[in-house]
Amino acid sequence: MAIAFDVLASVWAMVSEMEVVGDSPRLTLMVYVALLGAVVLVTSLPSAAWSTFVIEKRFGFFTGSIWLWLGDTAKSAVVAGVIGLPLALALDAALAWGSTSGSAYLYAWAVLVSASVVLLFAHPRLIAPCFNTFTPASDALLARITTVANKAGFPLGEVMVMDGSRMSNHSNAYMYGMCSAKRIVLFDTLLDQVDQDGVVAILGHEMGHYVLGHTWWNLIIVQAYALGFLYAFSQAMAWPGLVEAFGFGFGFGADGSAGDLPPHLIRLVVFSFLAVPVDAAVSLGMHMLSRKFEYDADAYAVDLGLDLVPPLQALHRENKSMSDPHPLYSAYHYTHPPVTERVAAIKARMEARGRKTQ
């Protein structure tokens, strides 16, 4: 849609002529990014509302109210603006600054890496508490998780329970923190759907991802891809045809050189459309690797003496996920193997260790 209707170029033409932005290129770019963000938000609202109030509600997942949903949507837009606008300006400045020395891709990559590190620290402390309430896990659960963490050599920080049930019955658990003192977050819905043995087994699997180095591999691959993408962009960013194809009109100098190209950031956005087929190939490879990591983490949990079969089956039932998808569909879309295949692999490994699932 954005490509077909030249949305990027039309909004840029509109913003460039606004009196309020005057001669300030930075302000023009900020207004442009904010306006594009508003266009994306408004056009995505109908499908987001449909998936929440029709599909999620029909299957009994949605537990919130329209006011809660609207409040969260508004908060997300503010958070996206507070993070996105400075990041957009910093990226544009880095690309412009580096373009003279041929190091634009390195500067832009440094901005992205710095933003990721800042977000890693800001998310649990500043962003997540805007949406949910976090309370420490019970002493009994914490004691059991600590035992497994010690066995796995996992640097456990705090274990928190999040009120995921305020909006949805879907259950989840995640952990973060790159080095020491990792924080584990459990959705309250997970504690309702799975018993304590199951929660500990799921966390044994998550610790497996850390101990086996999966977290680092994912980080390295994503950052290497970002660097490669930025390098490819830096080779094409001065080429007028890149933006012309997306409806940007601009004059040429008397000597035949290009006139005013739009800011580097806009050219980067345009280039990202061209990279969609490459993204698809990369995501296919990442999903294959991710499914291998899932089997490895399952095996790790088995070797810790845990039984993942009951919690996996319970979560599969509660979240109504597909048990037997078409192999081609799951090969492309799934980050996790289908539950039937995971359970079969876990049972085989348990049997090889002389154990049986409950």
* Residue numbers belonging to the annotated binding site for Zn(2+): 205, 209, 294
Q: Do residues 310 and 357 lie in contact, with contact meaning Cβ atoms separated by under 8 Å?
A: yes
Annotated binding site: 205, 209, 294
Q: Pick the closer one to Zn ion by CB: 168 or 172.
A: 172
Quick one: 32 or 300, whose CB is closer to Zn ion? 300
Q: State whether the Cα torsion 271-272-273-274 is positive or negative.
A: positive
Supply the minimum distance, in Å, between the C-beta of residue 13 and Zn ion.
47
User: Could you list the residues that contact Zn ion (CB under 5 A)?
Assistant: 294, 297
Closer to Zn ion by CB, 92 or 294: give it: 294
Write down the catalytic residue from 19, 158, 296, 298: 298
CB of 19 to Zn ion, least distance (A): 53
- Scored b (16 or more CB within 10 A) or e, 92-130 reads bbbbbebbeeeebbbbbbebbeebeeeeeeeebeeebee
Quick check: helix, strand or coil at residue 251?
coil
Active site residue 72: no
- Least distance CB 207 / Zn ion (angstroms): 10
> Among residues 56, 92, 206, 307, which one is catalytic?
206
SS3 string, 308-322, reads CHHHHHHHHHHCCCC
Cβ-Cβ contacts under 8 Å for 304 (sequence gap 6 or more): 148, 151, 152, 204, 207, 208
Catalytic residue list contains 56: no
CB of 205 to Zn ion, least distance (A): 6
Cβ nearer to Zn ion, comparing 111 with 203? 203
* Residues identified as active-site: 206, 298
